[in-house]
Chains A and B, each alone.
Chain A
Amino acid sequence: MTTKAELYLNALSELENSTGDVISTAIITHDGLIMASTKSDTMHRETFAAYGAVAFKRADETMEELTGENIDMLLYDSKTNRVVTVRAGEHALLIVFTGKNVQMGMVLMNAQNTALKIKEL
């Protein structure tokens, strides 16, 4: 029988294959625990999840303070990297860590589609 973790991993693999220049992807909880993640040589999975969840939480709190609403997506980028975090249902977040050799629109669209898939799983 296929576990949910395996289904999540399939969704992440599809996202990586269809987007390109993806360094790492993960589905995490709001606590920063990993539900599924693809391999990354650049950083520890636990660090990736912990920092990703904290960044999303802080941004969410900021938005809530400013507008009274919650955020559904967070995007931040540096000279060479980009991180997109998308809310994927009530309990999960999808984090996509990419390089800069991919169009931002493509990353956003694929990330949102994958988040929808995760939500439905």
Chain B
Amino acid sequence: MVNSSYFYGFEETLGPHVILSNLFWWTSLILVMTAYKNRRIWNVGEMPWAYLFLTFFFFGIRELGHLDKSSMVGSIRYVFGILSAIFMTSALIFIYLKIYKREKISKNMSFIPLIFALIFPILFIYLYFSGTQTQNLWNIFFNIENIIWIIGGSITIYTTYMLGTKSTGGFVYVFMFFQFAAIFAILWKFLGIIGNISCPIPYSIREFLETMFGVFAIISMYVLEKMLRNLSRRIS
């Protein structure tokens, strides 16, 4: 007989973390938009701003997906998670290239993440129409999302670290909190992989890590927005 208490907390639940995550990510999106209004003060180019917006927008949609527990919605949710990971990584790579490496980002180069991101919805549509079972679809995109977030998070840790060494004042906090967010994203996704491969990890632990990921993302955007808002007020 299976001891059901063993599985307590292992299943995905619709708890406070869903409400908190949605709150954090959608508020972060508003912060990105208000910060964007002052982009002339921190002119890192149009694409990093666009990618930051897409990061928070797609992750917000991903979090909304928690409200439905069907495998189909779950798979679509993961596609949005993948897009969010790609755009967050790209935004910070571009900021790193512009400020730290002093490189000009060509138009062609700035569209690479967009083209890369397009692969996944196309793959999803292809698999769906080629008759892949919904549960398999869920598994495939769950694993892809885990891998993309782990790779993207690792790159983000590197770029934010390098940017942090060339920053001062509020920017140190912006990059530091982005780095914390990336660390929690990696841990969260790593436990997802482990749970899928061999040892089930209590979902409550992953919930906590996911929530912390959102907490640090919103803090970094808040610091950036506040810095730009204050300066805008001072020079107008």
Interface residues in chain A, defined as those with a beta carbon under 8 Å from any beta carbon in chain B: 3-5, 8, 29-36, 43-47, 50-51, 53-54, 57, 91
Contacts and interface: CB of A to CB of B under 8 A. Distances in A.
A51 B171 CA distance: 12
Contact of B102 (A8, A30, A47, A57): A47
B43 A46 contact: yes
Nearest to A60: B168
Given A31-B227, A33-B231, A43-B102, A50 B166 contact: yes
A47 B234 contact: no
B187 to A, nearest CB: 30
Nearest to A52: B168
A81 to B, nearest CB: 15
A32 B102 contact: no
Interface string B162-182: 000011111100000000000
Interface string B91-110: 00000001100100000000
Given A33-B228, A57-B168, 8 more contacts: A29-B231, A31-B170, A31-B231, A32-B167, A35-B231, A36-B235, A44-B102, A53-B169
A30 B44 contact: no
B166 A45 contact: no
A53 B169 CA distance: 9
A85 to B, nearest CB: 12
Contact of B99 (A47, A57, A91): A47
A69 B234 CA distance: 27
Contact of A30 (B42, B168, B228, B235): B168
B3 interface: no
A54 B236 contact: no
Interface string B215-236: 0000000000001100100111
B169 A47 contact: no
B48 to A, nearest CB: 11
Contacts of A30: 168-169
A32 B98 contact: no
A31 B234 contact: no
A54 B167 contact: yes
Contacts of A45: 43
Nearest to A45: B43
Interface string B33-54: 0000000011110000000000
B44 A46 contact: yes
A4 B236 contact: yes
Q: Which of B99, B102, B235 has the most CB of A within 10 A?
A: B235
